[in-house]
Amino acid sequence: MAASFNEIIENFGFLDDWEDRYRYLIELGKDLPLLAESEMTEETRVKGCASQVWVVTSIDRSGVAPVLHFRGQSDAHIVKGLVALTLALYSGRTATDILALDALDLFRRIGLAEHLTPQRSNGVRSMVERIRRDARDLLAEEAGA
């Protein structure tokens, strides 16, 4: 079972240096469930990432408000950890909740943003924007229904 975002942030707080935090990110990435080869398509690939990143979105419509769930994968170890961190933050939330969250601000507050290369920061922004786009699309679909 993947760690929740709050658990991950708490664990980050216990780690004193960034070497340890990078190792922790890599471990988070190793816990991501693998995507099927058929799910790693051009449609699910996140554009704007230097590494290959795929995010698969599913929608649970069984409750009062639909809930988005995300699964993802990358071909790079640290990026895979960033995928795990981002999905822990956003997966299992409504579209409105997703749009209200500022992942980049949260990443800055834990000091993550300043320790990422510009390429990785751009990749995280692209992944967040893709998730937010899926949330906006769901809201638009619900409004038109």
Q: How confident is the model at residue 15 (pLDDT cuts 50, 70, 90)?
A: confident
Cα–Cα distance for residue pair 94/101, rounded to 1 Å: 11
- The pLDDT assigned to 1 comes to 45
* Parent domain of 49: 5-144
Q: Kindly give the residue spans of alpha helices, DSSP state H, lying in the chain.
A: 5-14, 18-30, 77-90, 95-100, 103-109, 118-144
Q: How confident is the model at residue 2 (pLDDT cuts 50, 70, 90)?
A: low
Of 46, 49, 88, 95, the catalytic one is 49
Cα–Cα distance for residue pair 42/60, rounded to 1 Å: 23
Mean pLDDT for the chain overall: 91
- Model's pTM, two decimal places? 0.91
- The pLDDT assigned to 61 comes to 95
Q: Do you know the residue count of the chain? A: 145
Cβ neighbours of residue 38 closer than 8 Å, sequence gap 6 or more = none
Q: How confident is the model at residue 145 (pLDDT cuts 50, 70, 90)?
A: low
Q: Look at the chain and report how many structural domains it folds into.
A: 1
CB 83 within 8 A of CB 91: no
Percent residues over pLDDT 90 in the chain:
63
CATH number, domain containing residue 60: 3.90.1010.10
Q: What is the pLDDT of residues 70-126, one digit of tens each?
A: 999 999 999 999 999 999 999 999 999 999 998 888 888 777 878 888 888 888 999
Local structure of residue 96 (DSSP, 8 states): H
Cα–Cα distance for residue pair 7/89, rounded to 1 Å: 11
State yes or no: is 3 an active-site residue.
Answer: no
Coil vs helix vs strand at 74: strand
Q: Is the pLDDT of residue 128 over 50?
A: yes
